[in-house]
Amino acid sequence: MNEFIELLALPFLASLMLIGIHCQFGLQVLKRNVVFVDLALAQCAALGATLAFMQGHMPQSAGAYAWSLGFAWSAALILSLIRYAPSRIPPEALVGVLYVASTAAAILLIEKAPQGAEHLKQILIGSVLTVSVDELIRVVPLYVGIGFILWLAAHRGWLERTGFAGWVADLGFYAAFGLVVTSSVAMAGVLLVFSFLIIPALIGLLWARTFGNQLLVGWGVGGLAAGTGLWASYVLDTSTGATMVCAFALTLCIALVARVIAEASKNFQMVSRVLGNFAVAVLLASSVWLVAQPRADQPLLDATEAAWPSVRDAYFNVQEKGIYTEAENYVKRYSAEMARLTTLEARSRWQGSAIDDETIRKISSFQQSYNEMIKGERFVMHEIRSRARERLRWTAFFSAVVLCAVMLALTLFWRGKFLSSRRSTVPIRSE
Amino acid sequence: MITFWIDRGRSAVRILSLGFLLLAPPGTQAALSVITTTANLQTLVEAVGGDRVSVVSLVPAGSNAEEYAPRPQDLDRIRGASMVVRVGLDYDLWFDRLLRQSGKPSLLRGGPGHVDASNAIVLLEVKGGGLSGGAHAHGAGNPHYWLDPVNADVITGNIVEALARLDSLNAKYYEQRRIDFLARLEQRIHVWQLKLAPLTGKPLLTYHNNWPYFARRFRLNFIGTIEPRPGIAPSPAALAGLIRRMREEQVSVIVRHPQEPSRDVDFLARKVGARVVILAASVGDLPQAQDYFSLFETNVAALTAAFFGVAR
């Protein structure tokens, strides 16, 4: 638990701060329909950093920072001019083109100076898990200042102006966003920053009407999702950025479904009926697939077995179960043997007397044999499972059909009851 | 359009080589054109081939060979070559497609002009499919075998065998150069081993599993890798485990390759108070490492400096 807090307190704080500023930008970005603008700005900043490296500036020096900021601001200038593009083409498409073009340009530059690849990555592949206190302290005044100006702009309606004043406001908006994104992507990475930008803002839009309330909802739910994601990444032992993005997506799903339910129970009934029918169809399709090709991959059955291995007990007979368990144990034994040899060889590199080439070759050939044996045992396991499935496919099929029939009957029954109850209530009211 | 240019390029090469033949004074001949996939192999071919070969590496020095995206001119370069040398062991898989496209059967696997430098190397970490969760995804064994300088014996052996086959007139020349090169290398290996002897058994951590061969030759103790699998960032639990192990085993130095992400490495170094040392895994990764000898000189100097603070 202590380790958990030691490791994740700082990332959580960083996430809260990033959500704080990005949710504000996200609401504006969604309004303007330029969702991928953060990717474009970050990529342009990275392009600037690459060029700076080629000019001989060391990364994280003032020169490198000036170059990447210069490029981000040039991109901001281009983005602010999008408002004058013919309305026949969507602004999002132009943002996308700016992104791919700057990415490709950076790749071409890297080919000329391969050692620069590291510096390109440094800007684009942050990791919130390894954020440092210095990094946080450096950006706090920046974020607070820009956040305040942005709030003022939204409050005073500066961003809704038209004409020249509107263009100036747009330019300021994109320039400020460029400043924020350049530091945030370096801290948290492209994927996570995109989630911070868009998902809390979407949830805010779903659940609140005024700008202030949308912001509050976004901040609250975003903070919750960030905490859950960090915790899940620790418990599940998965990479932090990707887990957090999934947690954000899941949160959005929940918020969306909840909104659909809240909006109208009629929609909810329709959605639940569609989902129910879909489940029945999937069940039927996979039972037909089982009958047709019992030896092929059975995604539904395989996933169920992976989650609850005890499902196998339901359709294996005693003999099959015995063989399967035995093969499973052999796999474990051979794997342990392989691991032992690996450790033995790795230790011999520095401990005791060195192992000669002949022995190394022997170890390798042992490991390869073990590997083949493991493959063999895996084949046995697969074969046993396929045979059991072949044996029981018709039973499974008919039970699935019966189950579907029951569900169908229940649906029809409820519908009939619903209709007849409506019919019977109408005359009572008229009396 | 592309084929047109390639054809033009080919005829240009032909005319050029014809010109060479005409211009060359009697007794000498045009250099044998060799393509290698990496700069490491390039320096080794140059070491044994001398001025009788002209060698080009497809992957520019300092680039990641495993993620290399071939360019149109690569095809042209291969078509103009009489011999190709590759790392093998799934390290340069993209090379197979290029070779097939080039349409020169002699350069395909099994052909007289194809050299798989990993042939007859004593491989480490052969797991076949990486089932036991090994830190490198290559099923056929860890591919960074050039980082054991003793393996240069086998690598140059493979190269000289093919050179002698294609250019039998100069076979003696190649073999003599190889013997000289290996003799020089042997002396240096002895020096490097002496310099690194005080580091024997001292625990080190690395980001990517580049170093098993280097570790075996110089008796270094890499206790693990930071990335759980190639290209995958460590999870919080994995990082916590690494911090614990680093504190338990008192790891004071973390090894990083210049192109590997610095964030995770710096984070661990900060937490545990370890130093980060940047080593070149290939020729050209660092400006000081320009050939096979300086590759090891650079790494040996950097490692000893990291442990004992000796000025480089």
Q: pLDDT (tens digit, 9 = 90+) per residue, A257-274?
A: 888 877 776 666 777 777
CA distance A207 to B26: 87
Task: Report the CATH number that the domain containing residue A93 is assigned in CATH.
Answer: 1.10.3470.10
Residues of A whose CB is below 8 A from B236: 4, 7-8, 129, 230, 233-234, 237, 240
The H-assigned helical ranges of A237-317 are 240-263, 265-292, 299-307, 311-315
Contact B290/A at CB under 8 A: no
CA distance B89 to B144: 9
Task: Report the CATH number that the domain containing residue B160 is assigned in CATH.
Answer: 3.40.50.1980
Q: Could you tell me the pLDDT band of residue A372, with boundaries at 50, 70 and 90?
A: confident
Q: Which residues contact A174 (CB under 8 A, 6 or more apart)?
A: A37, A41, A75, A76, A77, A79, A80
Instruction: Please report the residues numbered 50 through 109 in chain A whose beta carbons come closer than 8 angstroms to any beta carbon of chain B.
Output: none
Given a cut of 70, is residue B254 above it in pLDDT? yes
Give the residue from B133, B164, B188 where a domain finishes: B188
The pLDDT value recorded for residue B129 is 46
Q: Could you tell me the pLDDT band of residue A161, with boundaries at 50, 70 and 90?
A: confident
> Hey, what amino acid is at A77?
L
Q: Are B41 and B155 in contact (CB under 8 A)?
A: yes
Q: What percent of chain A has pLDDT over 90?
A: 19
Instruction: Please report the residues numbered 230 through 269 in chain B whose beta carbons come closer than 8 angstroms to any beta carbon of chain A.
Output: 232-240, 243-244, 258-264, 266-267
Residue A81 sits in which domain range? Answer: 2-264
CA distance B73 to B93: 18
Q: Which residue has the tokens 């959005």?
A: A252
CA distance B224 to B246: 10
The pLDDT value recorded for residue A119 is 63
The pLDDT value recorded for residue B106 is 86
Given a cut of 60, is residue A396 above it in pLDDT? yes
What are the structure tokens assigned to A175, written together? 């320039």
Same domain for B172 and B216? no
The pLDDT value recorded for residue A22 is 92
B216, B235, B267 member nearest A238 (Cβ): B235
Q: Are A295 and A390 in contact (CB under 8 A)?
A: yes
Give the minimum alpha-carbon distance from A125 to chain B in angstroms, rounded to a whole number: 8
Q: Could you tell me the pLDDT band of residue B138, with boundaries at 50, 70 and 90?
A: very low
Instruction: Tell me what ipTM this predicted complex has.
Output: 0.74
Q: Are B47 and B153 in contact (CB under 8 A)?
A: no
Per the CB < 8 Å rule, is B131 touching A335? yes
**Average pLDDT of the segment spanning A3-10:** 81
Q: At what angle do helices A37-54 and A2-32 cross, to 10 degrees?
A: 110
Instruction: Please report the residues numbered 37 through 66 in chain B whose beta carbons come closer than 8 angstroms to any beta carbon of chain A.
Output: 60-64
Give the minimum alpha-carbon distance from B251 to chain A in angstroms, rounded to a whole number: 15
**Average pLDDT of the segment spanning B59-73:** 81
Instruction: Please report the residues numbered 190 through 229 in chain A whose beta carbons come closer than 8 angstroms to any beta carbon of chain B.
Output: none
Domain count for chain A, please give it.
2
What are the structure tokens assigned to A134, written together? 């210095």
**Average pLDDT of the segment spanning A187-200:** 88
Same domain for A297 and A256? no
Q: Which residues contact B217 (CB under 8 A, 6 or more apart)?
A: B148, B149, B150, B189, B193
Residues of A whose CB is below 8 A from B241: none
Across chain B, mean pLDDT equals 82
Give the minimum alpha-carbon distance from B27 to chain A in angstroms, rounded to a whole number: 39
CA distance B266 to A115: 19
Q: Could you tell me the pLDDT band of residue A423, with boundaries at 50, 70 and 90?
A: low
**Average pLDDT of the segment spanning A51-65:** 77
**Average pLDDT of the segment spanning B293-300:** 92
Same domain for B42 and B134? yes
Name the nearest CA neighbour of A29 among A239, A197, A274: A197
pTM of the model: 0.76
Given a cut of 60, is residue B27 above it in pLDDT? no
The pLDDT value recorded for residue B175 is 92
Mutate to test the interface with B, among A3, A12, A130 (most CBs of B within 10 A): A130
Per the CB < 8 Å rule, is A129 touching B141? no
**In this predicted structure, which of A67-76, A130-139, B225-234 has the lowest mean pLDDT?**
B225-234
Domain count for chain B, please give it.
3
Same domain for A180 and A131? yes
Burial of B217 (0-12, 13-18, 19+ CB in 10 A): buried
The pLDDT value recorded for residue A418 is 60
Residues of A whose CB is below 8 A from B132: 335, 338-339, 342
Kindly report, residue by residue over B197-252, the tens digit of the pLDDT: 888 888 888 988 889 999 988 888 888 888 887 777 788 888 888 888 888 888 88
Of all residues in chain A, the one with the smallest CA distance to B269 is A130
The pLDDT value recorded for residue B136 is 40
SS3 B106: helix
Per the CB < 8 Å rule, is A114 touching B62? yes
The pLDDT value recorded for residue A64 is 80
Q: Could you tell me the pLDDT band of residue B132, with boundaries at 50, 70 and 90?
A: very low
Same domain for B82 and B171? yes
Residues of A whose CB is below 8 A from B141: 364
Given a cut of 90, is residue B1 above it in pLDDT? no
The pLDDT value recorded for residue A12 is 92
Given a cut of 60, is residue B28 above it in pLDDT? no
Name the nearest CA neighbour of A138 among A186, A209, A205, A72: A186
Given a cut of 90, is residue A316 above it in pLDDT? no
Per the CB < 8 Å rule, is A345 touching B234? no
The pLDDT value recorded for residue B150 is 92
**In this predicted structure, which of A17-21, A322-326, B1-5, B204-208 has the lowest mean pLDDT?**
B1-5
Q: Which residue has the tokens 């580091």?
A: B199
Give rounded-to-5 percent helix, strand, coil for chain A.
85, 0, 15
Same domain for B38 and B137? yes
Q: What percent of chain A has pLDDT over 70?
A: 91
Instruction: Please report the residues numbered 138 through 167 in chain B whose beta carbons come closer than 8 angstroms to any beta carbon of chain A.
Output: 141
Residue B283 sits in which domain range? Answer: 190-308
**Average pLDDT of the segment spanning A196-204:** 93
Residues of B whose CB is below 8 A from A3: 240, 243-244
Same domain for A69 and A105? yes
Per the CB < 8 Å rule, is B212 touching A346? yes
SS3 B83: strand
What are the structure tokens assigned to B211, written together? 């170093």
Instruction: Please report the residues numbered 354 through 373 in chain A whose beta carbons come closer than 8 angstroms to any beta carbon of chain B.
Output: 354, 357, 360-361, 364, 367-368, 371-372
> Hey, what amino acid is at B94?
W
Give the minimum alpha-carbon distance from B172 to chain A in angstroms, rounded to a whole number: 29
Dihedral Cα A113, B93, A189, A252, nearest 10 deg: 150
Residues of A whose CB is below 8 A from B131: 335, 338, 371, 374
Kindly report, residue by residue over B142-173, the tens digit of the pLDDT: 889 999 999 999 999 999 999 999 888 888 99
Same domain for A315 and A222? no
Per the CB < 8 Å rule, is B216 touching A349? yes
> Hey, what amino acid is at A89?
I
Sign of the CA dihedral with A323 first, then A325, A331, and A337 last: negative
B60, B61, B233 member nearest A127 (Cβ): B233
Name the nearest CA neighbour of A48 among A99, A102, A117: A102
Give the residue from A238, A264, A290 where a domain finishes: A264
CA distance A256 to A205: 11
Kindly report, residue by residue over A225-239, the tens digit of the pLDDT: 999 999 998 888 888
Same domain for A100 and A242? yes
Give the minimum alpha-carbon distance from A76 to chain B in angstroms, rounded to a whole number: 28
Same domain for B247 and B164? no
**In this predicted structure, which of A80-94, A149-163, A248-262, A359-373 has the lowest mean pLDDT?**
A149-163
Same domain for B154 and B266? no
Of all residues in chain B, the one with the smallest CA distance to A349 is B216
Per the CB < 8 Å rule, is A372 touching B131? no
CA distance B99 to B74: 10
Burial of A375 (0-12, 13-18, 19+ CB in 10 A): middle
Same domain for A313 and A384? yes
**In this predicted structure, which of A196-205, A207-216, B301-310 has the lowest mean pLDDT?**
B301-310
CA distance B183 to B172: 16
The pLDDT value recorded for residue A420 is 65
Q: What does the radius of gyration of chain B's CA atoms come to, in whole angstroms? A: 21
Per the CB < 8 Å rule, is A239 touching B122? no
Given a cut of 70, is residue A430 above it in pLDDT? no
Same domain for A294 and A410? yes
CA distance B59 to B39: 7
Of all residues in chain B, the one with the smallest CA distance to A335 is B132
Task: Considering only residues B21 and A394, tell me which one the structure prediction assigns the higher pLDDT.
Answer: A394
Q: Which residue has the tokens 């691991």?
A: A339
Per the CB < 8 Å rule, is B267 touching A125? no
What's chain A's length in residues?
A: 431
**In this predicted structure, which of A60-69, A113-122, A245-254, B39-48 has the lowest mean pLDDT?**
A113-122
Q: Are B90 and B125 in contact (CB under 8 A)?
A: no
Q: Which residues contact B106 (CB under 8 A, 6 or more apart)?
A: B82, B112, B113, B114
Q: Could you tell me the pLDDT band of residue A241, with boundaries at 50, 70 and 90?
A: confident
Per the CB < 8 Å rule, is A371 touching B124? no
Mutate to test the interface with B, among A2, A5, A134, A350 (most CBs of B within 10 A): A350
Same domain for A275 and A288? yes
Same domain for A38 and A10? yes
Give the residue from A264, A294, A311 where a domain finishes: A264
Contact B19/A at CB under 8 A: no
Mutate to test the interface with B, among A233, A349, A351 (most CBs of B within 10 A): A349
Q: Could you tell me the pLDDT band of residue B19, with boundaries at 50, 70 and 90?
A: very low
**Average pLDDT of the segment spanning A231-259:** 89
Same domain for A239 and A332? no
> CB atoms < 10 A from the CB of B92, how many?
22
**In this predicted structure, which of A17-31, A50-64, B17-31, B82-96 has the lowest mean pLDDT?**
B17-31
Same domain for A383 and A241? no
CA distance A24 to A159: 13
Give the residue from A230, A264, A298 where a domain finishes: A264
Per the CB < 8 Å rule, is A342 touching B216? no
The pLDDT value recorded for residue A118 is 64
Of all residues in chain A, the one with the smallest CA distance to B151 is A357
Per the CB < 8 Å rule, is B132 touching A342? yes
Same domain for A228 and A302? no
Name the nearest CA neighbour of B234 among A41, A419, A140, A7: A7
Instruction: Please report the residues numbered 204 through 233 in chain B whose beta carbons come closer than 8 angstroms to any beta carbon of chain A.
Output: 212, 215-216, 219-222, 232-233
Given a cut of 80, is residue B306 above it in pLDDT? yes
CA distance A346 to B138: 17
Same domain for B200 and B303? yes
Q: Which residue has the tokens 């700016």?
A: A98
Given a cut of 50, is residue B20 above it in pLDDT? no
The pLDDT value recorded for residue B135 is 37
Same domain for B182 and B33? yes
The pLDDT value recorded for residue B24 is 44
Task: Considering only residues A39 and A61, tell me which one the structure prediction assigns the higher pLDDT.
Answer: A39
Paired residues of B221 in beta bridges: B203
